[in-house]
A and B are shown apart, each in its own frame.
Chain A
Amino acid sequence: MLSSLIGYYALILGLTISFPIFFFSIRNFKNREILDNKIINFTFIQLFLVIVSFIGLIFSFIYSDFSNETVFNNSHTTKPLFYKITGTWGNHEGSLLLWLLVLTLFIFIFLIKSKNLLKEYRILTLLFQQIIIIGFFVFLIKSSNPFNYISPAPKEGLGLNPILQDPALAIHPPILYLGYVGSSIIFSSVLSATSLNYISKTWATHIKKWVLVSWIFLTLGILLGSIWAYYELGWGGFWFWDPVENVSLMPWLALTTLLHCVLILEKRSLLSSWVIILSITTFTLSMCGTFLVRSGILNSVHTFANDPERGLFILIFLFILILISLVIFFTFHKTNRDSLVSFSLLSKETSILINNWFMMYFLSVVLIGTVYPIFLDVISSEQISVGPPFYHKLIIPFLIPFLIFMAIGPQLKWMKSGLHSKFYLLILFALSILISFLILKIFNAILLINTILVGSAFYLFFVTIRDFIFKRNKNFSQNLSHFGFSLLILSILFNNIFSTEIITNLKVGEKFDNDKVQITFTNLKKFEEKNYVSFKGYFLIKERKLEDNLEPELRVYNQPNIITSEADIKTSMLSDKFITMNTVQNEEYFNIRYQVKPFMVWIWISVLLISLGGALSLLRGKSV
């Protein structure tokens, strides 16, 4: 009760702080040499108020204050404390408050960390960021207030969707948001740098850190979501080309491209228009993601409520921001014409540029696959869905040149590079194709496209390993990320080629038997837990004389009354054994799905390596 009130007033007060920030910023912009301390103080006060508001909401959740509508809709007294707390951002209102929190936090860090940069640039960045912040304040207070009051207070809440009650998903939103919202700083900073004609090598070095920060968090956020989908949704895969996943992949692709462009800008003062456009794109895609997911246009676990007003607001807000940025880009940006010519055909920057084009192509494929169904629904009310084959067909063939350029590019020099002493590149390539051919031959999965694809992934793998050995300290972090990427592609390919699956319906005591695998459903037991009843199935699996006991679960939650399946997974370095069990209404049969997924754990490890490379580069403060 009290905590909700405090939270609400802190939020309103936080919005009003924007006025003094605007006032002092504009006064400070022309008058004095250094940044007025008042601005930093007010930014801090705003951050502090948003933190208070957020903590207020957390307390309302902890004490199950059901006079608060958000708590009523998403919590329940029997829920474990940990999920009461994480439930704070497991819903629409709370997660937007978290967005706002990160927005204000980042601009504060930005102001502190940019002391030796141009004063006008810092102020202008703050102002652009304030526009976004005000937008979110208004959005929160007007159409998704987390502190709405219900009177009289209900005795019990509606509960949190059980599949969201999970440790990976508890930290997935904050991490992902750090990535999404980090792009807002890049956006504000690019607009400000463009209007002041401040885009330079110094600026590139400075903004690179922010790009890295958002990139690392976005990568980790996507990883967490993917791991969660793997074991909780019981699909047994890591990526489904679900629109909701695509929406997070698109900013990632744009951000990765941006990261490489910023490098070229830093080293060669080239591609400034690319950097500007990509920064705007990344932020727009992050906002679009929020819009598509929150407005209920894409249906998924993320869709908390279908409220057209919310979607409309974000859409209008987004249009205004894009309009502003385009106007700024076209009025202020001047390309340096002479620098365009100095692209040599064989150089690091050319190879980066080529892969940027590929990445833009991947981005447009994902964009079209995600948006086309929505578009068609609006203009012809025909309902369609675009499945994985679409993406596979359009993306996989182009991965081959992409991987090869990724292997060769870092071996070239900036400006102009020759092919002297690059003979090893050819030898490694032949070696990779040969290895890939042999592996696929042994396991009887030989196909031309597979061979070349696995071969080019091996190529990148070997070239990066060679760099680890011979060039030890040079570009270590970049090499680590590229190595991680090759490992990721290899694991995904082997995972796809060698996965096996058995789906069957069994009663207790029955046995499934084909020549290779025996699955025996030995027992079913019931357990009472705090907020759910668990039915545990006991399965004995015999495969090539190896025996395994797997125990998947069915949970019947009390509030809301939902059944979820908990997969049981035996993980080893080489492969995962994955089993899920589902009920079929009032029947004795259980629907059993047993999968063997090779190299599953390496998919997660490789993504960790990719982001670790980014983190190392950030810590060293040297080139990526």
Chain B
Amino acid sequence: MYGRKVKLRFLFVVLILLSLVFSVFLLLKSLDENVVYFKSPSDVKLLEELDNKKIRIGGMVKKDSIKISNQDVNFVITDFKNEINVTYSGVIPNLFSEQKGVVAEGFLKDRSFFEASKILAKHDENYMPPEVKKALEDK
């Protein structure tokens, strides 16, 4: 009915469409699994249920809250409304200090306890992560 060339081209188009659909599916699935959401301590308090997804928490490091030992660092992140205890073992950025902005990435143990696997602080003393700035402005 149709020529060989037309069939071939049809096959080609179908193949491309299928691979497109496949890659879009992969992309969306992977995005869903690997996206890290940003929350402030107050957001965490309002969470309805805790799941074990990785999240980021941002705010200020509370004054006199840093406690350090050989294995780990403990501190409190606050947005001046709510607080959350953080325990962390890993690389501590130089700009990490009390009463400065911080973003911690990790897993929630419960609504007031967070186990961080990464701490982010940027390279500029004037810099405040936009998320933190926003979280503090919202209060």
Q: What is the interface of chain A, defined by CB distance below 8 A to chain B?
A: 161, 163, 233-235, 299, 301, 341, 357, 361, 364-365, 368-369, 372, 382-387, 389-390, 393-394, 503-506, 510, 512, 554, 560-565, 580, 582-585, 587, 589, 591, 593
Contact A504/B66 with A385-B38, A390-B30, A393-B30 known, Cβ cut-off 8 Å:
no
Which of B77-85, B88-96, B106-114 forms contacts with chain A? Answer: B88-96
Contacts of A383 in B (CB 8 A): 37-38, 131, 134
Contact A589 B94 (CB under 8 A): no
The number of residue pairs between A and B whose CB atoms lie closer than 8 Å in the complex comes to 110
A365–B26 alpha-carbon span in the complex (Å):
10
10 contacts between A and B (CB under 8 A): A233-B123, A301-B123, A357-B19, A365-B27, A372-B35, A386-B35, A390-B33, A503-B91, A560-B126, A589-B69
Q: What is the interface of chain B, defined by CB distance below 8 A to chain A?
A: 5, 19, 23, 26-27, 30-31, 33-38, 54, 56, 66, 68-73, 89-98, 122-127, 129-131, 134
Contact B92 A368 (CB under 8 A): no
Chain A proximity of B92: nearest CB distance (Å): 4
Contact A585/B66 with A383-B131, A386-B34, A504-B71 known, Cβ cut-off 8 Å:
yes
Contact A587 B90 (CB under 8 A): no
Contact B125 A382 (CB under 8 A): no
Q: Which of A369, A384, A394 contacts B26 (CB 8 A)?
A: A394
Contacts of B26 in A (CB 8 A): 394
Chain B proximity of A356: nearest CB distance (Å): 13
User: Nearest residue in B to A306 (C-beta to C-beta)?
Assistant: B130
Contact A394/B27 with A385-B38, A505-B70, A505-B73 known, Cβ cut-off 8 Å:
yes
Q: Which of A161, A357, A580 contacts B123 (CB 8 A)?
A: A161
Contact B66 A387 (CB under 8 A): no
A580–B89 alpha-carbon span in the complex (Å):
15
User: Nearest residue in B to A561 (C-beta to C-beta)?
Assistant: B125
Contacts of B72 in A (CB 8 A): 505
Contacts of B31 in A (CB 8 A): 368-369, 372, 386, 390
User: Nearest residue in B to A341 (C-beta to C-beta)?
Assistant: B5
Contact A593/B91 with A299-B129, A504-B71 known, Cβ cut-off 8 Å:
yes
- Besides A554-B94, A582-B92, 9 more A-B contacts (Cβ < 8 Å) are A301-B123, A365-B27, A372-B31, A382-B38, A385-B38, A387-B34, A504-B70, A563-B95, A584-B66
Contact A506/B70 with A299-B122, A365-B27, A390-B34 known, Cβ cut-off 8 Å:
yes
The binding surface of chain B is classed by DSSP as: loop
Contacts of A560 in B (CB 8 A): 124-126
Chain A proximity of B8: nearest CB distance (Å): 9
A554–B92 alpha-carbon span in the complex (Å):
13
A512–B70 alpha-carbon span in the complex (Å):
9
Q: Which of B33, B35, B69, B122 has most A Cβ within 10 Å?
A: B35
Contacts of B126 in A (CB 8 A): 560
A389–B117 alpha-carbon span in the complex (Å):
14
Contact A384 B98 (CB under 8 A): no
Contacts of A299 in B (CB 8 A): 122, 127, 129-130
Contacts of B23 in A (CB 8 A): 361, 364
Contact A161 B70 (CB under 8 A): no
Contact A587 B36 (CB under 8 A): no
A382–B37 alpha-carbon span in the complex (Å):
8
Contact B38 A384 (CB under 8 A): yes
Contact B73 A386 (CB under 8 A): no
A383–B134 alpha-carbon span in the complex (Å):
11
A394–B29 alpha-carbon span in the complex (Å):
10
User: Nearest residue in A to B128 (C-beta to C-beta)?
Assistant: A299
Chain A proximity of B2: nearest CB distance (Å): 15
Q: Which of A365, A394, A585 has most B Cβ within 10 Å?
A: A585
Chain B proximity of A296: nearest CB distance (Å): 9
Chain A proximity of B24: nearest CB distance (Å): 9
